[in-house]
Amino acid sequence: MGQRANYIIKNQDKLTIHYTHWRANCIAQDLYLGEKRFLKYVNECKIVDEIINYPWIEGCVIIDILNKHLCFWSWEIPNVTSVISYYLQALRDKWTGWTIEHLSNGMYDAEKILAIDYVSKQEFSKLDIPSEEDVIDDKVEEWITVTVLIKHSNELFVTSTGNLSVESIISYGPKIIELLQRKPRYNLPNEDDATQECIIFDIDSKVIFISQSEFGLWEQTAPLWDSYALIMGDTGYIATLQMANIDTTNLLLPQDKVIEYFTALVAQTSDFNPADFAQRIIQDQKDAVFHPDFFDNTKPNRTIIEVITSKLKSLFKRNNSS
């Protein structure tokens, strides 16, 4: 239980690995505090010998001190192209003089930057391989899981899946393309309506594009797609369309919604206390046992204004609930 992440300080050839048990979901907001406050916080975090293994690692920040190069990824950052772009620009204003890089392929990218062997040492999750019946019977009802685009001979076919994920689609193999083409045709959605998962089959170029990084997927399925290449990354729907040379005119998220996403993304949420959480768990499970890391409560120091604001919000909530 937790939201585990590593902060890795790179100083020439030396790597110092710091660990947080609860703040992988706060990486975007913590980085937005700026260079001084974030580095002070990182140096207060526990130092460990190894990087967290997949699938437990939920985020990673690499801080190259000498070259002033900041790289990061986190599962909690919205996979929305316009929001990612806006956030990166705002972050560059906070980290003056630094090169900022979003690692859209997570630990695949981190491995290269750190010059380490990480991926080959991981155990990949078993893939969810659907049957032909699963694919044929899949239909959109209450929700859409994947937006599917098939490019062929200057034609673009757009459809959607109900429960089939990108992992399921890739795991089935090339024959799934024909089955997907039998499904209902949809209009190309705009960014506001697009699903988290998008897959594009460019049949002429033999390239598959997917809008998120799927750890271990291609290692296990590449033999099925021996004539295809895969391009993936947590870049969002719009960037995936652009990589596939699909026109995105008039599809972008409205600016007011981008700002709304951004504001929520960088808002400091520091009220979580693992000790209080443990007490609530014990009330339901008297024999619960906790790893010492469970009680890691290291977090960025708050300014006086942030402390006052937090207290006022708490008081407002109590008054409204009474």
pLDDT on residue 314:
59
Give the model's pLDDT for residue 215: 96
The alpha-carbon radius of gyration of the chain (Å, integer) is 22
CB 129 within 8 A of CB 150: no
Q: Answer yes or no: pTM beyond 0.85.
A: yes
For 155, the enclosing helix (H) or strand (E) is: strand 155-161
Is 106 buried (19+), middle (13-18) or exposed (0-12) by CB count in 10 A?
A: buried
Q: Please choose, from the candidates 93, 71, 203, 199, the residue with its C-alpha nearest in 3D space to the C-alpha of residue 147.
A: 199
Classify residue 211 by its DSSP letter: S
The H or E element containing residue 166 is helix 166-172
CB atoms within 10 A of CB 164: 25
Which residue ranges in the chain fall short of pLDDT 70? 270, 304-322
Per-position DSSP letters for 84-147, written without gaps between them: HHHHHHHHHHHSTT-EEEE-TTHHHHHHHHHT---GGGSPPPPP----HHHHHH---SS---EE
CATH architecture of 132-260: 2-Layer Sandwich (3.30)
Q: What is the pLDDT of residues 14-71, one digit of tens each?
A: 999 999 999 999 999 999 999 999 999 999 999 999 999 999 999 999 999 999 999 9
Q: What is the pLDDT of residue 317?
A: 57
What pLDDT was estimated at residue 272? 86
Residue 70, pLDDT score: 98
Distance CA 248, CA 156 (A): 13
Domain residue spans of the chain: 4-123+292-315, 132-260
User: Running DSSP on this structure, what letter comes out for residue 196?
Assistant: S
Question: What is the tens place of the pLDDT at every residue in 178-198?
Answer: 999 999 999 999 999 988 899
So what's the pLDDT on residue 112?
A: 97
Model pLDDT, residue 322: 56
pLDDT at 240: 98
- Reference 270, options 294, 297, 291, 292; nearest CA is 297
Interatomic CA distance for residues 322 and 315, integer angstroms: 11
